Amino acid sequence: MIMGKKLSEMSLEELWQLFPIFLTEHKDCWGSWYAEEKAALEKTVPQAVRISHIGSTAVSTIWAKPIIDILVEVPKECDLAVVKNMLTENGYICMSQNADRLSFNKGYTENGFAEKVFHLHLRYVGDNDELYFRDYIIEYPEIAREYEKLKLTLWEKFEHDRDGYTAEKTEFVRKYTNEAKLKYGNS
């Protein structure tokens, strides 16, 4: 805990100090952590059309932040506020939201990361570019290695600046997401 503050009382800079970016080799347990969380989410969010493991922990060949990213897609007629309440009642903290996208965290404590940490991305069906990128770098290991190298290069520079780290990866991710959409079809 930073100076006795609760997470909700901390500034963004304090949160970044408490929850730095760090990367590690792939861990086999990540797949089972995702499967366990998916099973819980299927009960918590019965209106989910698809629940997907996204992010680098879904790619077994590259280093990743040990945070399981999950994409939950719901029908367009679904009230996101209702789903938000379901998730927050089940241990998720809403970190950001707009009209059609909400982001949640689970496993962040006043003392740092818990053993299992999740980022959940709640979206309407079809808002799923992360699936294209994930599938593309799994299919093309040389692109996955380029992505890993980029992340490892950015790690030290942006250890306490999550927004900067993400921004520096955006061009790379966008490029290969667009290539994936051309290859797989934009469905």
* CATH number of the domain within which 75 lies: 3.30.460.10
What is the predicted pLDDT for the residue at 1? Answer: 46
| Within-domain flag for 2 | no
- For 17-37, the pLDDT digits (tens) are 888 899 999 999 999 999 999
Q: Of 67, 7, 20, 75, whose CA–CA distance to 45 is shortest?
A: 75
CB–CB of 72/41 below 8 Å?
Answer: yes
* Domain encompassing residue 45: 11-184
Count: domains in the chain: 1
Q: Say how many C-beta atoms besides its own lie within 10 A of residue 14's C-beta.
A: 14
Question: What are the angstrom distances between the C-alpha of 60 and each of 29, 46, 57, 80, 112?
Answer: 11, 29, 7, 32, 25
| Within-domain flag for 73 | yes
Q: Are strands 101-109 and 93-97 parallel, antiparallel or unpaired?
A: antiparallel
Q: Of 58, 55, 54, 100, whose CA–CA distance to 81 is shortest?
A: 100
| Within-domain flag for 6 | no
Question: What are the angstrom distances between the C-alpha of 46 and each of 32, 38, 73, 146, 165?
Answer: 21, 11, 11, 38, 34
Q: Which two structure tokens, joined as six digits, stand for 123?
A: 């979206």
Query: Which residue pairs, CB below 8 angstroms and at least 24 apart, start in 167-172?
Result: 172/146, 172/147
- In this prediction the pTM is 0.92
- For 95-110, the pLDDT digits (tens) are 889 999 999 999 988 8
- For 55-102, the pLDDT digits (tens) are 999 999 999 999 999 999 999 999 999 999 999 999 999 988 999 999
Question: Which comes out higher in pLDDT, residue 6 or 47?
Answer: 47
**Alpha-carbon gap, residue 168 to 180, rounded angstroms:** 20
